[in-house]
Amino acid sequence: MIALTTRRFLQTAGLLIAGVVLSACGKKEPPVAAAPAASAAPAPAPAKVYMVGTDAAYAPFESQNEKAEIVGFDIDVVNAVAKKAGMEVKFVNTPWEGIINTLQQGDRDLLVSSITITDERKQSMDFSSPYFDAQQLIAVKENSKVSKFDDLKKLKVGVQTGTTGDEVVTKLQGKNSTNIKRFESTPLALKELEARGVDAVVADNGVVINYLANNTGAKFKSVSDKAFQPEQYGIAVKKGNTELLAKLNKGLADIKADGTYDQLYTKYFGAPPAKVAASPAPAASK
């Protein structure tokens, strides 16, 4: 077959080579060449695990159960958000004092810890859209005469260091007051009230109400006051981490839209959150 052209030769050779490769593949042993080829392809990047910092001594928002698992409303919210956003998250118990620094240091990617969004805090971290409405609430012994916030002016008051509760009491009593007893956690402040080491504790309403309900033996009552400003919790990220913030905000919007948020709220607080009237307020004059 002298008439075999170069092209034809190449085609035939190509078929032969292909045949060899195919038969090699047909054998039980994988071709040796397959291993380097596979590892030469870029390995899929392992899914990032987002480290979530939380001070887990703040039931019902974040606390540790008997199995030392971190549980609570905040945890469920972030898990639901993460699911929507396709993010993997890991919760890490993180002391409240210094929790903000863990963002700066890169030890935590986000914080969920009933953190009230404040202008001052916005200087050092970025917040998601608000996910919970809160307010300060006073806890006192059942027989206490305290009936309003102003009554705490000259009393010994327990707070968790660096919380908004600490802020309002410091504002009331003055920053040099020696009557403010600061604790590293809110439950410690409440224990001190039980032991009568302080006359009152000021903390977030949800936590005070939860403590009263679960510690009836402590003989506490709560005292509310309209003087307390409304507060809103946000999920915090390192300042400038707009990419993560966008994911969280999208996830929050998604769980609010599909009813997951209301379901979780009801699970922890007995009823869905009160809806702000969508229709304009009625005219004042009539």
> Counting contacts by CB under 6 A, is residue 204 touching ligand ARG?
yes
Q: How far is the CB of 252 from ligand ARG (least distance, A)?
A: 18
Provide the token pair at 241: 């981490």
Decide if residue 210 touches ligand ARG (CB under 6 A).
Answer: no
Considering the complex, what minimum distance in angstroms separates the CB of residue 203 from ligand ARG? 7
Per CB under 6 A, contacts with ligand ARG among 167-186 are: 186
- Which position among 94, 102, 114, 128 is part of the footprint of ligand ARG (CB under 6 A)? 114
Closest alpha carbon to 160 in 132, 140, 189, 131: 189
First vs last Cα of the chain: how many Å apart? 109
Q: How far is the CB of 168 from ligand ARG (least distance, A)?
A: 10
Distance CA 124, CA 54 (A): 17
Calpha distance 250→180 (Å, rounded) = 40
Q: Does 115 bind ligand ARG (CB under 6 A)?
A: yes
Q: In a 3-state reduction of DSSP, which class is residue 86?
A: coil
| Of 52, 62, 102, 235, the one binding ligand ARG by CB under 6 A | 62
Residue 96 as a binder of ligand ARG (CB under 6 A): the answer is yes
Q: Is 188 left (phi over 0), alpha (psi -120 to 50) or beta?
A: alpha
Selected range binding ligand ARG among 18-26, 108-116, 137-145, 246-254, rule: CB under 6 A: 108-116
d(CA 202, CA 67): 29
Q: For residue 259, what is the DSSP state?
A: S
The one segment of 22-30, 44-52, 113-121, 259-267 that binds ligand ARG by CB under 6 A: 113-121
Q: Does 163 bind ligand ARG (CB under 6 A)?
A: yes
Taking the C-alpha atoms of residue 145 and residue 73, their distance in angstroms, rounded to an integer, is 33
**Pick from 94, 164, 210, 249: which binds ligand ARG (CB under 6 A)?**
164
> Residue 173 or 185: which CB sits closer to ligand ARG?
185
Per this entry, what is the length of the chain? 286
Distance of alpha carbon 285 from alpha carbon 271, whole angstroms: 34
Q: Which parts of this chain interact with ligand ARG (CB under 6 A)?
A: 55, 58, 62, 96, 113-116, 160, 163-164, 186, 204
